[in-house]
Amino acid sequence: MKPELSEKIDEYIKNMPSLPTSVAKVLEVCNNPQTSPADLNHVISLDPVLVGRVLKLINSAYYGLSSHVTNLVRAIIMLGINTVKNLALSTAVMGNLAGKKDPLGLDMEGFWRHSLCVGVAAKLLAKKRGIDPKLAEEYFTAGLLHDIGKIPLNTVLSKEYMLTLHEADMERISLHKGEEKTLGLDHCAAGAMVVKAWKLEGAVGDAIIFHHSSEAYAGNSVDVLYSVIAANRFASLGDIGFAGDRYPDKIEKSVWDALGITQEAFAELEPMVNSEIEKAKIFLKI
Amino acid sequence: MLSVRFWGVRGSIPCPGSATVVYGGNTACLEIRADDRLVILDLGTGVKPLGDWLMAEELKKGPIDTDIFISHTHWDHIMGFPMFTPLFIPSTKLRIRGPVPFEDDTLESIIGAQLSYRYWPVRQTELAAKIVYDQIRETVLDLGDGLKVTTKFLNHPISCLGYRFEYQGKSIVTCYDHEPFRNLFPTDPGLPGYDEYAALEGEQAAKDENAKVINFFKGADVLIRDTQYTAAEYNEHLGWGHSSYEDSLASASAAGIKKLIFFHHDPNRTDAQLVELEKVYCARAAHAGVEAMMAREGLIIEA
């Protein structure tokens, strides 16, 4: 990767705005002095950038401790509602200040639907497989944030990324391979920069970095990673949202075996996931 | 010998006047001594009389060279800085450490913002003293000569640190501008916004974080706590970042504290009111096996 490219991406990551789908609701919730923690948690939990920024704040402050905070509820309790509101508000406002830019290759509402779908599906798969409800929340966060690296690529390299999407489509290859070919790095590598900047190390960070290279993974969060991979497959097959990957790689048998499920589990998921997304759309008023 | 002397004992705003001559009206400032070694904790208005005292009594023994720790950067804890007279002496050396609310700020810019023409006639660049700023988080610092300080994030609207000073087997711990963690999420399924996961995780988070705080001051010889409110008042100030006498006493008892200091008095508390509160809560403390007293300016406590 060229040094100037990584610098541009790093600079963008520092002030990454929230998704356009969330801005109006964030402004409404955060400007209300009587806002409830539950509503604040809800609006943030639907936006991968906001979730990442809140987790960055809590883990930066407590950096170096043995325990890493990976869920919003604990973060809101530890940071306090006003601190989280201020952060969400400033993150939402950032996007508005940026002004109009080049047209983006990746549509942000489609990206949002895909991200939420993967988060919800990963969590539902975890619950279906008997994972403790307390731990299932981490599956949601990992799924929601898995493609976070696409945002800086889509924005900083908007023209090149449009060409990348086109190239992957024409050559019928998966997006991450197309990215590697045309940009010299894929969204997992860009995601690794986000993971580092936002201190998302752990299961969430691993899902961001390894969801297209699980065979190279030697970490401790195999179950979360594999669940995100399966959920990602579910989202692509079901055409729920669109995050640029028209020809996703097939999943290795070892992933299905480790999870103890088959693709038939997806049929049960679909109505539940669609219901969650519709509820989110109503809440966000989009 | 490890000791603490109180130069400012109020929270929120200074409240000088005839009704506060006994306990004092200056905002938070503590003088920690490890034998002759000086450490200052917080730069509320109490740092002005401390600075004056240092100029009169310590400067003749040699340059003022000290570590300063800030609990947090709310104004009542830093407002005395521009009037800390040793700032204007070239031989003075200060090391100022503390947390910042957001990473983009610097401790120097936050504290130093007071030293700009719109607020104060002397600018930061015109100070004669040598000042080094160090932004800290949760950490352990060896200050040398056997003096060690451990820090812990507390629960306050902005990042706020508690400090545990340890010297020759004795300890003094500060835990003020701290509100016990509580579950902010509804636990009643009938309430709007109820979510089973959030209710359970919220309860666990509050319990875990409160246990960490108690562990931080466990076994301290001296614990300086936030007692801005009584329990009844606290219930009307949830989320404001301060504690009550009742919680401070209960947690001190649970942690095996030897001496508990009630500190960070609300500015509206008169001497007469504090006398009465002291009687009530020190009696309760004695009953719980804790020696407690009300902080007042000039009070010196040995660890």
pLDDT at site B111: 94
pLDDT at site B266: 96
> pLDDT tens, B25-58?
999 999 999 999 999 999 999 999 999 999 999 9
* A100 has a pLDDT exceeding 60: no
* A192 has a pLDDT exceeding 90: yes
Rounded to an integer, what distance in angstroms lies between the CA atom of residue B171 and that of residue B250? 19
**Predicted ipTM > 0.90:** no
pLDDT at site A66: 53
Alpha helices by DSSP H, chain B: 47-57, 107-112, 196-217, 231-234, 245-254, 271-287
> pLDDT tens, A203-256?
999 999 999 999 999 999 999 999 999 999 999 988 888 899 989 888 888 999
B197 touches chain A (CB under 8 A): yes
Share of chain B above pLDDT 90, in %: 94
pLDDT at site A223: 96
Q: Check which CATH number belongs to the domain holding B63 and give it.
A: 3.60.15.10
B202 touches chain A (CB under 8 A): yes
* A96 has a pLDDT exceeding 70: no
- B-chain CB neighbours of A62 within 8 Å are 137-138, 153
pLDDT at site A133: 79
Instruction: Report CB contact under 8 Å: A78, B155.
Output: yes
pLDDT at site B149: 98
What's the Cα-to-Cα distance from B190 to each of A282, B186, B195, B196, rounded to whole Å?
A: 22, 9, 10, 11
> pLDDT tens, B200-221?
999 999 999 999 999 999 999 9
Higher pLDDT, B262 or A198: B262
B54: exposed, middle or buried (Cβ count in 10 Å: 0-12, 13-18, 19+): buried
Rounded to an integer, what distance in angstroms lies between the CA atom of residue B257 and that of residue B248? 11
**Residue A242: CB atoms within 10 Å:** 16
pLDDT at site A116: 95
pLDDT at site B103: 63
Mean pLDDT value of segment B124-134: 94
pLDDT at site A64: 53
What's the Cα-to-Cα distance from A99 to each of A14, A103, A156, B89, B216, rounded to whole Å?
A: 17, 12, 14, 50, 47
Helix (H, G, I), strand (E, B) or coil at A217: coil
B187 touches chain A (CB under 8 A): no
Residue B241, φ and ψ in degrees, nearest 5: 95, 20
Per-residue confidence at A102, pLDDT binned at 50, 70, 90? low
pLDDT at site A97: 55
* A286 has a pLDDT exceeding 90: no
* A59 has a pLDDT exceeding 90: no
Share of chain B above pLDDT 70, in %: 99
Instruction: Report CB contact under 8 Å: A78, B103.
Output: no
Mean pLDDT of chain B: 96
- The DSSP bridge partners found for residue A155 are none
A64 touches chain B (CB under 8 A): yes
Alpha helices by DSSP H, A101-252: 108-128, 133-145, 150-156, 158-171, 175-183, 187-198, 203-210, 222-237
Of B103, B182, B186, the CB nearest to A38: B186
> pLDDT tens, A33-55?
888 999 999 999 999 999 999 99
> pLDDT tens, B147-196?
999 999 999 988 899 999 999 999 999 999 999 999 999 999 999 889 88
Q: Which amino acid is at B214?
A: I
pLDDT at site B69: 98
Instruction: Report CB contact under 8 Å: A83, B239.
Output: no
A267 touches chain B (CB under 8 A): no
Mean pLDDT value of segment B115-120: 93
Higher pLDDT, A60 or B205: B205
Give residue limits of the domains in chain A.
3-17+101-283
Q: Which fold has domain A3-17+101-283?
A: Hypothetical protein af1432 (1.10.3210)
pLDDT at site A67: 65
Mean pLDDT of chain A: 89
Domain that holds residue B174: 2-302
> pLDDT tens, B265-300?
999 999 999 999 999 999 999 999 999 999 999 999
Range of lowest pLDDT (A143-152, B99-108, B112-121): B99-108
Q: How far does B191 lie from chain A, in Å, by closest CA? A: 11
Number of domains in chain B: 1
Q: Which residue does chain B place closest to A71, by CA atoms?
A: B201
Residue A75 contacts residue A55 (beta carbons within 8 Å) = yes
Mean pLDDT value of segment A133-154: 92
Question: Between A and B, how many CB-CB pairs are < 8 A?
Answer: 77
Higher pLDDT, A134 or A155: A155
B238 touches chain A (CB under 8 A): no
